[in-house]
């Protein structure tokens, strides 16, 4: 994304603003269009957000209504705002006269259109129609990410399939060993952080971690969490610049890092809260737990419902907030203020015979 904002990266085009949106950004009482209008007008930085969409006499509600009801020609207010921004950019020498202004809309985790229960099929269809209208306008570049294991559901919204035809879809293959090594090493180098070499073999820690991940392509979320915890332990807490084998072993390596943190959180909870949490966990053969779902209900609903304030809810959120980097770091920006975990379906093993699936 940053490369698009390099001047003259795309001929005759100037990307002036970007907005990142997730379908699950919708708060209580909001639909997708309310949530998108709020995200569009939230100014996160100089290049993220288009607060200019709300002019004198206009409101967030009216913008959401326009997006909801004008899916065929939705880009009019965006074009007006981009025109104002282009004038300012040209006057400031940041944009050439012949360049056309564009907005980049990133729809992250598009599969949430199919997995978030409160999104109906009609709302999903109208939202995809909105994206198609924005694309057709030429004013908005839409970049959507979607897990490939959910792509089979795209046929439920034919417009989404049409948008992906030709050059509209790029499949990212699982990273290979060399790519994994770069994913681990380069961000650390950029932050001035190094990986310790093993005292006996002299193999750097990053290579050991990469070797663990390469055998399990689904372990990337665990990798993210492990690196986060290593950084906290060896840099933020120890005030060092080297990620160490000692911390790596203490955290439980790749597979055990989340379990170690979850156990720590649970030990700080009151006994009655730990007991209540047990009601959330159903034993499974592999040592994890799962939520019960009524298989004959088209809309899968949890069979375990707890009222607000129940001990199982508070302790579950405590574990989720502590064990989920996305929730802990970006809750205020991207998620609900009640601390609901942003990593859907993440499993947090809690020991030999139990576990917690935090949502």
Q: How confident is the model at residue 305 (pLDDT cuts 50, 70, 90)?
A: low
Q: How far apart are CA 162 and CA 164, in angstroms?
A: 5
165: left (phi over 0), alpha (psi -120 to 50) or beta: beta
What is the pLDDT averaged over residues 61-80?
Answer: 93
Does residue 164 sit in the same domain as residue 181?
no
What is the pLDDT averaged over residues 12-20?
Answer: 95
Report the pLDDT value the prediction gives residue 261, as an integer from 0 to 100.
76
Does residue 74 sit in the same domain as residue 208?
no
Residue 98 counted as domain residue: yes
Q: Is the pLDDT of residue 120 over 90?
A: yes
Residue 265 counted as domain residue: no
Q: Is the pLDDT of residue 286 over 60?
A: no
Q: Across the strands, what pairs with 272?
A: none
Does residue 333 sit in the same domain as residue 220?
no
Q: Is the pLDDT of residue 284 over 50?
A: no
Regarding pTM above 0.75, the answer is no
Does residue 195 sit in the same domain as residue 222?
yes
> Any idea which residue has 């592999």 for tokens?
286
- Digit-coded pLDDT (tens) for 226-271: 999 999 999 999 999 999 999 999 999 988 888 887 787 778 888 8
Residue 269 counted as domain residue: no
- Digit-coded pLDDT (tens) for 197-221: 999 999 999 999 999 888 776 788 8
The DSSP secondary structure of 290-348, one letter per residue, reads ---B-TT-SS--BS----TT-HHHHHHHHHHHHH-HHHHHHHHHHS-TT---SSTTEEE
How many Cβ atoms from other residues are within 10 Å of residue 251's Cβ? 20
Does residue 232 sit in the same domain as residue 148?
no
SS3 345: coil
Does residue 86 sit in the same domain as residue 114?
yes
Q: Which domain holds residue 35?
A: 2-168
What is the pLDDT averaged over residues 54-83?
Answer: 92
Residue 268 counted as domain residue: no
Number of domains in the chain: 3
Does residue 184 sit in the same domain as residue 145?
no
Q: Is the pLDDT of residue 351 over 80?
A: no
Report the pLDDT value the prediction gives residue 80, as an integer from 0 to 100.
94
Q: How confident is the model at residue 315 (pLDDT cuts 50, 70, 90)?
A: low
Report the pLDDT value the prediction gives residue 317, as an integer from 0 to 100.
62
What is the pLDDT averaged over residues 7-15?
Answer: 92
Question: Which residue from 343, 327, 352, 330 is spatially nearest to 263, judged by alpha carbons?
Answer: 352
Q: Is the pLDDT of residue 353 over 80?
A: no
Does residue 246 sit in the same domain as residue 99?
no
């Amino acid at each position: 994304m940053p490369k698009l904002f390099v001047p003259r990266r795309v001929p005759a085009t100037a990307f002036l603003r970007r907005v990142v949106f997730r379908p699950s950004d919708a708060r209580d009482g909001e639909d997708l269009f309310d949530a998108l209008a709020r995200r569009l007008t939230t100014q996160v930085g100089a290049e993220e957000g288009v607060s200019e969409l709300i002019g004198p006499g206009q409101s967030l509600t009216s913008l959401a209504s326009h997006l909801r009801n004008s899916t065929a020609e939705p880009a009019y207010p965006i074009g007006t705002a981009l025109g104002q921004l282009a004038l300012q950019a040209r006057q400031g020498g940041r944009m050439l006269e012949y360049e056309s202004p564009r907005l980049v809309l990133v729809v992250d985790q598009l599969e949430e259109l199919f997995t978030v229960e409160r999104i109906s099929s009609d709302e999903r269809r109208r939202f995809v129609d909105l994206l198609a209208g924005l694309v057709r306008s030429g004013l908005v570049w839409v970049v959507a990410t979607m897990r490939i294991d959910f792509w089979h559901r795209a046929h439920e919204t034919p417009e989404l399939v049409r948008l992906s035809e030709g050059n509209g879809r790029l499949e990212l293959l699982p990273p290979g060993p060399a790519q994994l090594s770069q994913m681990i090493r380069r961000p650390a180098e950029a932050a001035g952080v190094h990986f310790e070499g093993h005292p006996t073999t002299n193999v750097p820690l990053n290579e050991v971690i990469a070797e663990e991940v390469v055998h399990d392509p689904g372990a990337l979320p665990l990798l993210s969490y492990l690196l986060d915890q290593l950084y906290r332990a060896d840099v933020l807490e120890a005030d060092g610049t080297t990620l160490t084998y000692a911390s790596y072993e203490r955290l439980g390596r790749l597979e055990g890092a989340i379990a170690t943190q979850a156990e720590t959180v649970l030990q700080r909870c009151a006994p009655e809260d730990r007991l209540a949490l047990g009601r959330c966990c159903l034993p499974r053969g592999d040592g994890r737990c799962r939520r019960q779902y009524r298989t004959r209900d088209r809309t899968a609903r949890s069979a375990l419902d707890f009222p607000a304030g129940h001990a199982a809810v508070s302790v579950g959120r405590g574990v989720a907030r502590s064990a989920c980097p996305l929730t802990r770091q970006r809750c205020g920006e991207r998620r609900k203020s009640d601390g609901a975990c942003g990593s859907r379906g993440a499993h947090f093993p809690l020991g030999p015979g139990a576990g917690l699936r935090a949502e």
